[in-house]
Amino acid sequence: MSVKIPRGTQDILPGQSEKWQYIESIAKEVCRRYHYKEIRTPIFEHTELFKRSVGDTTDIVQKEMYTFEDRGERSLTLRPEGTAAVVRSFVENKMFGIPDQPVKLFYTGPMFRYERPQSGRYRQFVQFGVEAIGSEDPAIDAEVIALVMDIYKSAGLKKLNLVINSLGDAESRNAHRAALIAHFEPRIGEFCADCQTRLAQNPLRILDCKKDRDHELMGTAPSILDYLNEESKTYFSKVTGYLDGLGISYTIDPKLVRGLDYYNHTAFEVMSEAEGFGAITTLCGGGRYNGLVQDLGGPDSPGIGFAFSIERFIAAMEAEGIKWPLDNGLDCYIVALGEEAKDRSVALVHQLRTAGLSADRDYQDRKMKAQLKASDRQNARFTAILGEDELAENRITVKDMAAGSQENVPLNELAQYVKTKMEAN
């Protein structure tokens, strides 16, 4: 029996991988404009890191991590998200000492969560994210949100809903926590076993429960917005004020709590509103995490960031029917007929490639007709035919597949000829 791909993972084959490259290139270009620099961290980290940042009582830590012991008996975990590692690296590399704060970083790479696979939910998925660490200016919250909306806009996505909420500071959260306990405690017996443990440990997580989401107490649960202290209210109105000023529309949803523990103040998600988009409509999630750097052993350095998966980004593009501006074509395919022509074509494709063109040839010793068909299948802009007659004159026949015309050019001028024609287009 052949070995199959693990559940919840996928091969990204040619034809699809270009879409990934396209989205990554847009995201990187927008990051360049906003002055965010790339950081690369390991794919696995000490398990402890995620317990302390994402949170011991979250679904991610309790149910979804790929944790293993290495040969040195250390507990390691395949990263389920990027923020924890970026903050660890910020502390470890003393980036808080860099004179210009916040430090503005972006990252991309595979993340791993042992979730039940379904459309838009994988066990290995690729996130693109940014983190701005070292400032508590609400303008940076607006910048981070503007950045992600700019990425979506640059790709042509329109049917989006930016949902935003404030989780407040520690004081506001404590007041809200007490109200949540008072609200759920009398009827906690009607909730799932997980929610019963959540009540004491982290009642905010009850609002995130997938099993009990239709329970009547969910709809009437106390809203965090009613428990924000003055400072938190002012902060939130500054953020929304900046978004208004930038013309970025949003919906405030007091029920948006996010599934990770490190958040406070601004929390946001971007949802797809495209018809036919799967059941999971969240494209992007992010928020502020003011205590995290300290929790991981650094100084008081407030941060904010977001991450989206490329998988859901692609699904949104397809649900909106956006045409992929991908250039899959080949610049020149060489059709060589006869032994000598084949030998000569080794150097010919090389010259084309050295000149910066994409070029290919036949490697299956096929007849002329089959080679011409291959050139066609590969969408070659030019087909260069080298037969005995051409060889005798040291020339080559070049067909312009778009114009339907052909010319006979000196062999040593082939690369220059194709290049000039391509540039003229």
Site for ligand HAM contains 55 (CB under 6 A): no
Distance CA 317, CA 159 (A): 10
Site for ligand HAM contains 333 (CB under 6 A): no
| Interface positions, 68-107, toward ligand HAM (CB under 6 A) | 81-83
Site for ligand HAM contains 115 (CB under 6 A): yes
- CB nearer ligand HAM, residue 127 or residue 166: 127
Overall residue count recorded for the chain in this entry: 425
Among 89, 232, 309, 383, binds ligand HAM (CB under 6 A): 309
Give the binding range for ligand HAM (CB under 6 A) out of 37-45, 242-250, 299-307, 408-416: 299-307
318 is in an annotated binding site: no
CB of 64 to ligand HAM, least distance (A): 8
333 is in an annotated binding site: no
| Interface positions, 393-412, toward ligand HAM (CB under 6 A) | none
Distance CA 38, CA 35 (A): 10
* End-to-end CA separation in angstroms for the chain: 51
Token pair, residue 413, equals 């001028």
Sign for the pseudo-dihedral over CA of 57, 63, 66, 72: positive
Among 23, 228, 284, 296, binds ligand HAM (CB under 6 A): 284
CB of 397 to ligand HAM, least distance (A): 50
| Interface positions, 129-148, toward ligand HAM (CB under 6 A) | 129, 131
Among 59, 150, 208, 311, binds ligand HAM (CB under 6 A): 311
344 is in an annotated binding site: no
29 is in an annotated binding site: no
CB of 18 to ligand HAM, least distance (A): 20
Alpha helices by DSSP H, listed for 120-222, are 138-154, 170-184, 193-201, 216-219
Among 105, 283, 396, 398, binds ligand HAM (CB under 6 A): 283
- CB nearer ligand HAM, residue 42 or residue 329: 42
113 is in an annotated binding site: yes
Beta carbons of 175 and 227 less than 8 angstroms apart: yes
CB of 44 to ligand HAM, least distance (A): 16
Distance CA 202, CA 59 (A): 12
Sign for the pseudo-dihedral over CA of 47, 48, 51, 56: positive
- CB nearer ligand HAM, residue 251 or residue 416: 251
> How many residues bind to ligand HAM according to rule CB under 6 A?
27
Among 20, 62, 66, 121, binds ligand HAM (CB under 6 A): 121
Beta-carbon neighbour count of residue 222 at 10 Å?
A: 19
Contacting residues for 190 by C-beta, under 8 A, at least 6 apart: 215, 217
- CB nearer ligand HAM, residue 243 or residue 386: 243
Beta carbons of 284 and 151 less than 8 angstroms apart: no
| Sequential DSSP letters for 94-147 | TGGGSSS-SEEEEEEEEEE-----BTTB-SEEEEEEEEEES---HHHHHHHHHH
CB of 54 to ligand HAM, least distance (A): 8
152 is in an annotated binding site: no
Q: What is the dihedral of CA 311, 313, 319, 323, to 10 degrees?
A: -110
Give the binding range for ligand HAM (CB under 6 A) out of 30-38, 114-122, 183-191, 347-355: 114-122
Token pair, residue 73, equals 């008996």
Question: What's the gap between Cα 394 and its chain centre?
Answer: 51
- CB nearer ligand HAM, residue 222 or residue 285: 285
| Interface positions, 153-182, toward ligand HAM (CB under 6 A) | none
Distance of CA 331 to CAs 71, 298, 357, 423, Å? 50, 53, 6, 11
Among 50, 306, 333, 382, binds ligand HAM (CB under 6 A): 306
Distance of CA 300 to CAs 57, 91, 95, Å? 24, 11, 12
CB of 60 to ligand HAM, least distance (A): 7
38 is in an annotated binding site: no
Beta-carbon neighbour count of residue 40 at 10 Å?
A: 10
Site for ligand HAM contains 259 (CB under 6 A): yes
Sign for the pseudo-dihedral over CA of 155, 108, 279, 18: positive
Among 55, 102, 203, 305, binds ligand HAM (CB under 6 A): 305
> Which residues lie near ligand HAM (CB under 6 A)?
81-83, 113, 115, 120-122, 125, 127, 129, 131, 259-260, 282-287, 305-309, 311-312
Q: List the binding residues for L-histidine.
A: 81-83, 113, 127, 131, 258, 262-263
